[in-house]
Amino acid sequence: MAPADAPGSAGGAAVETTGTLLREGAERLRASGSETSRLDAELLLGHAVGAGRTAILAHPEAPVGADAARRYRAGVERRAAGEPVAYIRGLKEFYGLAFNVDPRALIPRPETERLVELGVAEIRHRLGAARDAAAPVQLLDVGTGSGAVAVAVAVSLRGFGGLDAVRIAAVDVSRDALALARENAVSHAVADRIDFAEADLVPEDGQRYDVILANLPYVRRDVIPQLPRATSFEPVGALDGGPDGLEVIGRLLERLPETLTDDGLALLEIGADLGEAIVTLAGARLPGWRCVVEADLAGLPRVARIARG
């Protein structure tokens, strides 16, 4: 066999194109057990060549350089070993925005867009209602992780001119997650609009909030080993909800009387299997309060609305 750098041999090697690389990668990923092998390959190739997925799909005949092909194959191997595509790309789209993601925090999930939607609707409602215009609406995002919820709310409020009338605080118990959240706030130009702080559930400064949003860990501990392999790359502290899934959320419920304003509202994301359990738990820990559960786009229980009765 001729050495790879022999004159003329470069032209002899088959030119790699987006089409051939996609086929190769999708086959490798299908064999590794990925259920989204083609999509994964498209996203990874787009990442390797620095183009969007649609550009990749539109030009299957486009040649791909050797460096990009190497980067792509390295990504495919990481994915084949189970790593989430979002961590390989370092990026996840959420609420129409691109967030930096890495193992410091949970990858934002589509179902959490429901929490953002309900939070934004609630704040807009409060901004529109008769109120003391000098007093901003106070918002707290508990367990902010990558910052996706706080940043998406802030960007959305800015979109309709409401950001100046809202004060946003975001807390997490993980210093690593907070560093990532700050990076995301900077990328979306809302870093000066969100006060990030390290805290276990709520800041200890006695401040009360009109709206509290939280996507806390709520996966039942015994279910965690059965989650898709990609999930094992994420921080388990962001998923582990204890024996019944409601350990951390239950601790937050106990802090609500001192943390929510008199007419405040807490919107808490829950697992689809916790719709009844959260109502029972809220009834026990917050006698006289109201708890109703909103469904997500799939029609599954997803967000508990909790307020004084």
Among 215, 246, 266, 281, contact with ligand GLN (rule: CB under 6 A)? 215
Size of the chain in residues:
309
**Only segment of 56-64, 210-218, 260-268, 292-300 that touches ligand GLN (CB under 6 A):** 210-218
Q: Which tokens go with 241?
A: 């909800």
- The answer to whether the beta carbons of residues 114 and 294 sit under 8 Å apart is yes
**Only segment of 65-73, 160-168, 216-224, 298-306 that touches ligand GLN (CB under 6 A):** 216-224
Q: What gap in Å lies between CA 236 and CA 184, rounded to an integer?
A: 21
Write the interaction track for ligand GLN spanning residues 241-280; mark x where CB under 6 A is met and - where it is not: ----------------------------------------
CA angle (140 as vertex; 307, 286 as ends), nearest 5: 25
Among 180, 199, 211, 219, contact with ligand GLN (rule: CB under 6 A)? 219
CA distances from residue 74 to 18, 25, 35, 53, 281 in whole angstroms, order as listed? 16, 10, 19, 18, 47
Given the complex with ligand GLN, which of 163 and 268 has the nearer CB atom?
268
Q: How many chain residues touch ligand GLN (CB under 6 A)?
A: 8
Q: What gap in Å lies between CA 51 and CA 60, rounded to an integer?
A: 13
Given the complex with ligand GLN, which of 239 and 281 has the nearer CB atom?
239
Q: How far is the CB of 298 from ligand GLN (least distance, A)?
A: 12
38 near ligand GLN (CB under 6 A): no
Q: What gap in Å lies between CA 197 and CA 171, rounded to an integer?
A: 5
Given the complex with ligand GLN, which of 21 and 213 has the nearer CB atom?
213
Q: What gap in Å lies between CA 149 and CA 177, rounded to an integer?
A: 13
**Only segment of 24-32, 58-66, 116-124, 215-223 that touches ligand GLN (CB under 6 A):** 215-223
Q: How far is the CB of 238 from ligand GLN (least distance, A)?
A: 6
Q: Give me Rg for the CA atoms of the chain.
A: 23
Among 89, 109, 221, 251, contact with ligand GLN (rule: CB under 6 A)? 109
218 near ligand GLN (CB under 6 A): yes
95 near ligand GLN (CB under 6 A): no
78 near ligand GLN (CB under 6 A): no
217 near ligand GLN (CB under 6 A): yes
Q: Which tokens go with 34?
A: 């990925």
- The answer to whether the beta carbons of residues 269 and 214 sit under 8 Å apart is yes
Strand 97-100 versus strand 91-94 pairing type: antiparallel
Q: What gap in Å lies between CA 197 and CA 253, rounded to an integer?
A: 20
Phi and psi angles of residue 261, each rounded to the nearest 5 degrees, phi first: -65, 170
Given the complex with ligand GLN, which of 64 and 249 has the nearer CB atom?
249
Q: Which residues bind ligand GLN (CB under 6 A)?
A: 109, 111, 215, 217-219, 231, 239
